[in-house]
Amino acid sequence: MNCVTRAAAVLWGIWGWLSFALAILFALVVAAVVPGPERRRRLIAAAAKAPFVMTRVRVIVRGLDNLPVDNCIVVANHASNLDGILLKGYLPPRFSFVIKGEMRAIPVAHFLLRRAGSKFVERNEISGSSRDARQIVKAAVGGESLAFFPEGTFIKEPGIGRFRAGAFVAAIKGALPVVPIAISGARDMLPSGRLLPRRTDLTIDILPAIAPGDDGFSDNKTLSELARQRILAVLDEPDLL
């Protein structure tokens, strides 16, 4: 990479973070002053999409017709801090994202995520984890559309790890279809430990739903592995298990 190319990459990375900062500022204003959860969700989803549009990142969304018209649960691989922002911007606004409970300790992020309709799951305290899991199941039983990253976190190494049970228990209890989603390119754009994003295409593959009554739906472990294998079949990444 020559000096001009390197400088252009750095400038694009800075513009990427600036675009993200502007989008966050807009979303915070929306979260603070806009009444009505549905209107807030639509505007915050537009804010999440804005950085990709402003930086002219090519985002390819395939399989939108695989999303059920009624409520469902989506589960996606997790490779980058960009994943949640990407899905928030390009999925329908009706989805409530299930976020790790540690975000409650960051006041600004907690306020924005909570006002956007996100749910929080404590991972470290048993009592908090049980309480949050019950709330997630209650939301699913009530028919709410939820979005999970069932790996729980991401690492620099490419690949798909073990899926936690929460999304699949909620799907079974709520009798909601599970829609696997494969995100490609986010790890290349902003991997763990990288300071500046680099420009690359992003792809969201929305795969066929696994519906109540399908083989394996009654057992959360079987359902989890079925969703994981469908994502692996699309991604060019290894199975870490």
Q: What does DSSP assign to residue 65?
A: G
| 56 to 48, 60, 83, 135: CA distances (angstroms) | 14, 12, 17, 38
* pLDDT confidence of residue 152: 85
pLDDT of 124 reads 56
Residue-level pLDDT at 126: 44
Q: What is the mean pLDDT of residues 2-12?
A: 88
Report all structural domains of the chain as residue ranges with CATH numbers, in order of start.
Answer: 57-234 (3.40.1130.10)
Distance of alpha carbon 171 from its chain centroid, rounded? 17
Angle between helical axes of 37-54 and 82-90 (0-180°, round to 10): 120
Whether the Cβ atoms of residue 130 and residue 210 lie closer than 8 Å to each other: no
DSSP label at residue 104: G
C-alpha–C-alpha distance, residues 121 and 130, integer Å: 9
pLDDT of 173 > 50? The answer is yes
Residue 190 is predicted with a pLDDT of 93
Q: Is the pLDDT of residue 42 over 50?
A: yes
Are 201 and 150 a contacting pair, CB within 8 Å?
A: no
Q: If 0-12 CB within 10 Å is exposed, 13-18 middle and 19+ buried, where does residue 1 land?
A: exposed
| Cβ atoms of residues 231 and 207 within 8 Å | yes
pLDDT at 198 over 80: yes
pLDDT at 128 over 70: no
Look at 71 and 141; give whichever has higher pLDDT. Answer: 71
State how far the Cα of 50 lies from the Cα of 34, in Å rounded to an integer.
18
pLDDT for 136: 84
Q: Are 189 and 202 in contact (CB under 8 A)?
A: yes
Decide which of 205 and 7 is more confident.
205
CA dihedral 215, 219, 225, 231 (to 10 degrees): 60
pLDDT at 125: 52
> Is residue 127 pLDDT above 50, yes or no?
no
pLDDT of 78: 93
**16: helix, strand or coil:** helix
Q: Measure the CA–CA gap between 224 and 179, rounded to whole angstroms.
A: 11
What are the tens digits of pLDDT across the range 57-93? 999 999 999 999 888 999 999 999 999 999 999 999 9
